[in-house]
Amino acid sequence: MLHGMASTAQDQDQGRGHGGRSGEPAGPAAPQATGPFRRFRSAPLSPAARAADDDSIRMAGAKLRIQQRYERQVHRLRPLTWLMLTVTALCAWTGDPRPGLSGAGLALSIMLACYTAPLVVAGSGYWPSDVTAWRQAFALLISAAGLGVSAVAPSGALADIPVSAAVMLTFLWLELRQAVVIGGATTVLLAVLLTVTTHSPVEAATSAVLLCVVLAVLAELMRRSRDSSARTELLLAELEDAREAETMAAAGAERARIARELHDVLAQSLSALSIQLEGARRLGEREQVSPLLQGVIDRSVELTREGLNEARQAVGALRGDRLPALADLEPLVERCRRDLELTVGFAVLGTARHCEDPDAGFALYRGVQEALTNVARYARGAEVEIVLEYGADSVRVTVANGPGSAPPAGPSRGGGNGLRGMRERIERVGGSAEAGPVEAGGPGGGWQVTMVVPA
């Protein structure tokens, strides 16, 4: 019985399902469950929340938790259905008349069969929760059958227990106005029936009416409590979504501010420096300075242009533009060969693919860039080998260089700010980075950087 009650406590195609029991707007539909209980009524939300609900993972999670909690409640209440059927059978067997195959016993048997059939369907889990007409038919059937039982056996427990249980089920199965009409009519007919057929009409009718009213109020309170819990959880999820959106908006505004500062300060300064160096290069050509000095000026011009391009990339990243990724490593290597005059080998192992987290690919890109810059600074003339390896669940990049004219000195594992920043960037995306002398068997004085990020 209570299994059938709960199966429609949150499932109304009409009335509550679309307009609420008290006229409030219905909330968005929750995820559909499996089995006979495929839908349930969720709590009302604001129009803005309903508009954005399909895109909210947190809201979907809240609805799923509500559905799971509801199904657990249904499972716990199912044995009570069979308990109610057992109590009804015992009352019928010990009452007068008893169920039989003739006379009043036959009439009582028919009424009890019509009464228990919907409860058996509900208790077994095969409840037609998607069709309102079925719920209405079941409510009318058990109400009429309960009144028939009371008419055949007006004395004893069967006089009011079946009808009062039918009234409670009606309030749990149907929307409020339909429940009031059917349940109210059933209660009035029971009072009239007991008034006509019992020796103490006032006492019998009063107790029966009070029992029906109490069970109807209890059913309504059960539903309101369940709806209130669901409404609270959904509103909390909506609040968290709003807070997250506000945080993201604030972060976006801060990134835009930093991007403006970088553009106004760093990018403009580099632009001015590039212009000055270009003027110095032309002046050197006109004054016919030494080739070595002219080469230094030319390289400075190229490095300034590269720094200006990197500054623009940083500004674009802060503004949400596409970040450099693994596919951009080969163009980076080409630029370093040309601008930094490095001898760089580049190899790719495995099937190339994009990292699921764009920040992971960007972290590897910046790590390779930092490693190549360090080679140009501290090991000029060294040969560099870059290996990009795509594994089953990770992507590994190794940058190894041989000894150069100015080998690096200092701590063996990232003592500089550049290496430390590279390691922090890799660790933020769940990866790891190591830097130190080349592995055993490699050329002496070389340096190797290894970075691994999740695929």
Condensed to tens digits (0 to 9), the pLDDT of residues 426-441 reads: 999 999 999 988 764 4
In terms of domains, do 50 and 185 share one?
Answer: yes
In terms of domains, do 201 and 347 share one?
Answer: no
Give the global pTM.
Answer: 0.47
Q: Distance between CA 3 and CA 77 in Å, rounded?
A: 6
| 256 belongs to a structural domain | no
In terms of domains, do 229 and 359 share one?
Answer: no
In terms of domains, do 150 and 21 share one?
Answer: yes
pLDDT band per the 50, 70, 90 thresholds, residue 18: very low
In terms of domains, do 23 and 133 share one?
Answer: yes
Please say if the pLDDT value at position 9 is more than 50. no
pLDDT band per the 50, 70, 90 thresholds, residue 24: very low
CA dihedral 26→30→34→37, nearest 10 degrees, is -20
Q: Distance between CA 133 and CA 178 in Å, rounded?
A: 12
pLDDT band per the 50, 70, 90 thresholds, residue 47: very low
Average pLDDT, the chain: 77
In terms of domains, do 238 and 333 share one?
Answer: no
In terms of domains, do 30 and 177 share one?
Answer: yes
Among 228, 243, 258, the domain-final residue is 243
The continuous run of DSSP H or E covering 348 comes out as strand 343-349
pLDDT band per the 50, 70, 90 thresholds, residue 34: very low
What total number of domains does the chain contain? Answer: 2
pLDDT digit string, tens, across residues 129-158:
556 788 888 889 888 988 888 888 777 777
Place of tokens 């009718």: 205
The continuous run of DSSP H or E covering 453 comes out as strand 447-454
Across the strands, what pairs with 349? 389
Q: Distance between CA 232 and CA 225 in Å, rounded?
A: 11
Question: What's the length of the chain?
Answer: 455
Q: What is the CATH number of the domain that holds 360?
A: 3.30.565.10
| 249 belongs to a structural domain | no
Among 185, 216, 243, the domain-final residue is 243
In terms of domains, do 217 and 344 share one?
Answer: no
Tokens of 308: 């200006």
| 282 belongs to a structural domain | no
| 372 belongs to a structural domain | yes
The arithmetic mean of pLDDT across residues 241-258, rounded, is 85
| 365 belongs to a structural domain | yes
pLDDT value of position 99: 79
pLDDT band per the 50, 70, 90 thresholds, residue 364: very high
pLDDT value of position 117: 83
In terms of domains, do 209 and 331 share one?
Answer: no
The residue segments making up the domain with residue 415 are 324-455
pLDDT digit string, tens, across residues 165-183:
889 888 888 888 889 999 9
pLDDT band per the 50, 70, 90 thresholds, residue 55: low
| 314 belongs to a structural domain | no
In terms of domains, do 224 and 329 share one?
Answer: no
In terms of domains, do 27 and 169 share one?
Answer: yes
In terms of domains, do 94 and 202 share one?
Answer: yes
More confident residue, 252 or 364: 364
| 284 belongs to a structural domain | no
Distances (CA, A) of 104 to 143, 148, 155, 192, 201: 19, 11, 14, 20, 22
| 157 belongs to a structural domain | yes
Among 243, 265, 280, the domain-final residue is 243
Among 87-96, 216-225, 344-353, 410-419, name the one with the lowest average pLDDT: 410-419
pLDDT band per the 50, 70, 90 thresholds, residue 98: confident
